[in-house]
Amino acid sequence: MAGAVVVLSLAAAATVASHVALAQPVRAHAASLALEGGRAVEVRAHVTGKVELRPDGALGFDAAASTIAAGARSHAVAVDVVVRVDPAEVDRLQRLDVGAELWARGTLSSAYPGERAVLVVWAGRGVEIIRGPEGVTAVTADLRRGLVRAVDGLPGQGAGLVPGLAVGDTAAVEPALDAAMKQSSLSHLTAVSGANCALVVGIAFGLAAALGAPRRVRIGSGLAALAGFVVLVTPEPSVARAATMAAVAMTALLLGRPGAGIGVLSLAVAVLLIADPWLAASLGFALSAVATASLLLLARPLADGLGRWMPRALALALSVPLAAQLACGPLLILISPQVPLYGVVANLLAGPAAPVATVLGLAACLTAPLPWLQDGLAALAWLPASWIAATAGTVSALPADTLPWWEGMIGAALLALVGGAVAVVLVGPRGRGRRTRALRVLCGVLVAGVAGTALGGGALSTIAGRWTLPASWAVLACDVGQGDAVLLRSGEALALVDTGPSPDALTSCLTRAGVDRVDLLVLTHFDADHAGGAPAVVGRVGTVLHGPPDSDGADILRDLAEGGARLAAASAGMSGSLDRARWRVLWPDPARSGSVPGNDASVVLDVRGGGIPPTLLLGDLSADPQRAVRTSGGLAPPYAIVKVAHHGSADQDAALYDASDPALAMVTVGADNDYGHPRAEILAVLSGGGARVARTDQDGVIAVWESRGAVSVWRERGG
């Protein structure tokens, strides 16, 4: 048996390699057309995948290219491409759907190695629709659009979920709800997954059985319904993959033999890899296969094991999402190094509503010729969809909803080990021998140890984090790597000066400090290391005080404003209050610096009073504007704290630091950065002036407050 497995595996691998080798010359020729220098090209292509709105506002979709023209030369090709285009640059946008033929005009770049798509077409000069969807694809496109129209106007976030639950169309899902779905492990409900396909097959099979059809007719009815569903939601690779896995699972369940199901699954995986070798690099494909295998092998034993401690019905309900999370968790760690703590509970709560919303949504989609019936069915589907949206919002808002985990392959391997141990503890190996008992004890100890370590570390960085910080801090420098994020607190009011480079790092610091809302956000300038974390506070900011924005800055400010923040452009002489503290802007001075975005237009802030020691925050100013600040007459030394400019670069005005006379020089800088920050020259200036130096690269989080007329400093690494 082992020899046969080896032979079949080698044969499948050879077939996959042969497919890749035969396709490579065509792919290599097409890749060579990714002309350097941004040369204008025209690509004729056939849309093969859903047209989706990307986070950057552009439309993206998969297509099969047939012609690439550059100047007077035209090349016939047959490769997959990805098209990106601004919606405003598409003529007859309503006709852009699966099955459409088009010209995309713009530039080319090579896709990442290992992807099915060979080229990315950046259609900066627009997309011209040659021919819209025709025949069956036109009918299905109209049906999908009809469902979106039917739910338009229904209240709440549940309306946008209905098309996603029914046919995988997530265009109407609000960004906040999309984030909540992902955070609560419910995002699979709005993708066309094996669960949707299995539901369609099950309904068709059940109807055929109710009509007294023989077994073969029932199975044929299920497969025919599955084929129709695939055509309705677009037969793109991810949908075909989900349909295949659903067919495998349903076949095994109908046969009542999970072992046979694993054989069919293995055959299906091999066939899919031979037909499309690029699935080997697809994490989605791996997740589908693993989830199907967990349903076949693990769900029933888990239900039996859980049934020893809880009612059988509850054990059955928990077994499927728990099996999926145990099996898929190690793969998901490769995307995001965190474990959702409430994912199983969220799926348990939302699970019963998902099939109802899917069935009613599908019925609404298919009854487009009868608008009155479609509207009624859409309204009925809205009810369970709203329940799912409320579940996602509630679960994602719970404290410590995700558990930080180790990154990369080590983290994936460790989680796989822990998942296996959990399965052993819950399912229990057969037999009552000494070795069996020892195995269960060992697995129990492993689960308890890892869970305790991870939960303890997660708690300290989240809900219990504030207990690890001095309660009286007034100024807190977050350790966000190579970037700035400084919190100021006066009474109950909070200000945040810059956001660091990463939303995750900023969120971790804010959560640890117990900060839910920021009254004043100061964006000194819009380099990524100062404004890259801004998405973490969208919707949680009162006022934004900002320097001159570049194009990226304009997008950040727009998002903050849409989240309810009031925007104010900073200029020298502006002032305001933060509870009992007062702040003044010392720079930029439009009369002396102009309004050119960048480091030298950084907002320089003087903050003091209300418990905040006199503090000078210098952004990323270089020496020349530092001299202008020094001679402007706005300084009010001595300062208890000076936040050193530009992470301690060498381009500094030593006289400014002498004039400000800081007791503490705070350097916000990343460990082992590529810039050599902080430079020895500025450190010598600071120490020569008698200032103590605190650095986030060495000290971690830095907290400062006034105590009995003196400045107290706490360092995360060093006390």
Range from 59-68, 194-203, 354-363 carrying the lowest mean pLDDT: 194-203
Per-residue confidence (pLDDT) for residue 270, from 0 to 100: 80
Name the residue with higher pLDDT: 224 or 660: 660
Confidence of residue 149 (pLDDT cuts 50, 70, 90): confident
CA distances from 435 to 294, 439, 442, 655 (A): 26, 6, 10, 74
Which among 16-25, 297-306, 514-523 has the top mean pLDDT? 514-523
Per-residue confidence (pLDDT) for residue 431, from 0 to 100: 55
- Dump the DSSP string for 41-85: EEEEEEE-S--EE-TTS-EEEEEEEEEEEETTEEEEEEEEEEEEE
Q: What fold, for 27-134? A: OB fold (Dihydrolipoamide Acetyltransferase, E2P) (2.40.50)
Confidence of residue 191 (pLDDT cuts 50, 70, 90): low
Is the pLDDT assigned to residue 315 strictly greater than 80? no
DSSP 90: B
Is the pLDDT assigned to residue 709 strictly greater than 60? yes
What is the Cα–Cα distance from 483 to 80, expressed in whole angstroms?
40
Per-residue confidence (pLDDT) for residue 492, from 0 to 100: 87
Contact assessment for residue 702 and residue 713, using Cβ atoms and an 8 Å cutoff: yes
Which value, to the nearest 10 degrees, does the dihedral of the CA atoms of residues 336, 342, 347, 352 take?
-160
Name the residue with higher pLDDT: 658 or 275: 658
Name the residue with higher pLDDT: 72 or 77: 77
Name the residue with higher pLDDT: 30 or 506: 506
Per-residue confidence (pLDDT) for residue 144, from 0 to 100: 82
What is the Cα–Cα distance from 365 to 143, expressed in whole angstroms?
6
Going by C-alpha positions, the residue among 553, 538, 542 that lies closest to residue 179 is 538
Residues contacting residue 301 through CB under 8 Å, at least 6 positions apart: 423, 427
Is the pLDDT assigned to residue 603 strictly greater than 90? yes
% of the chain at pLDDT higher than 90: 12
Name the residue with higher pLDDT: 16 or 695: 695
Rounded mean pLDDT, 216-225: 77
Is the pLDDT assigned to residue 55 strictly greater than 70? no
| Interval 608-625: pLDDT, tens | 998 899 999 999 998 889
Query: Which class for 215: exposed (0-12), middle (13-18), buried (19 or more C-beta within 10 A)?
Result: exposed
| Interval 540-584: pLDDT, tens | 899 999 998 888 888 899 888 888 889 999 988 899 999 899 999
What is the Cα–Cα distance from 416 to 556, expressed in whole angstroms?
39
% of the chain at pLDDT higher than 70: 84
What is the Cα–Cα distance from 578 to 498, expressed in whole angstroms?
16
Question: Which residue ranges make up each domain of the chain?
Answer: 27-134, 157-396, 408-456, 465-709
What is the Cα–Cα distance from 632 to 617, expressed in whole angstroms?
16
Rounded mean pLDDT, 233-255: 65
* CATH no., domain 465-709: 3.60.15.10
What is the Cα–Cα distance from 357 to 164, expressed in whole angstroms?
10
Per-residue confidence (pLDDT) for residue 594, from 0 to 100: 55
Name the residue with higher pLDDT: 522 or 324: 522
DSSP 192: -
3-state helix, strand, coil in the chain (%, to 5): 50, 20, 30
What is the Cα–Cα distance from 589 to 571, expressed in whole angstroms?
6
Within 13 A of 187's CA, how many CA atoms are on the CB side?
A: 16
Per-residue confidence (pLDDT) for residue 275, from 0 to 100: 78
Output the average pLDDT for the chain.
Answer: 80
Per-residue confidence (pLDDT) for residue 271, from 0 to 100: 79
Per-residue confidence (pLDDT) for residue 618, from 0 to 100: 92
| Interval 354-389: pLDDT, tens | 888 888 888 888 888 888 888 888 889 889 888 888
Confidence of residue 467 (pLDDT cuts 50, 70, 90): low
Range from 190-204, 219-233, 586-600 carrying the lowest mean pLDDT: 190-204
What is the Cα–Cα distance from 381 to 373, expressed in whole angstroms?
12
Is the pLDDT assigned to residue 688 strictly greater than 80? yes
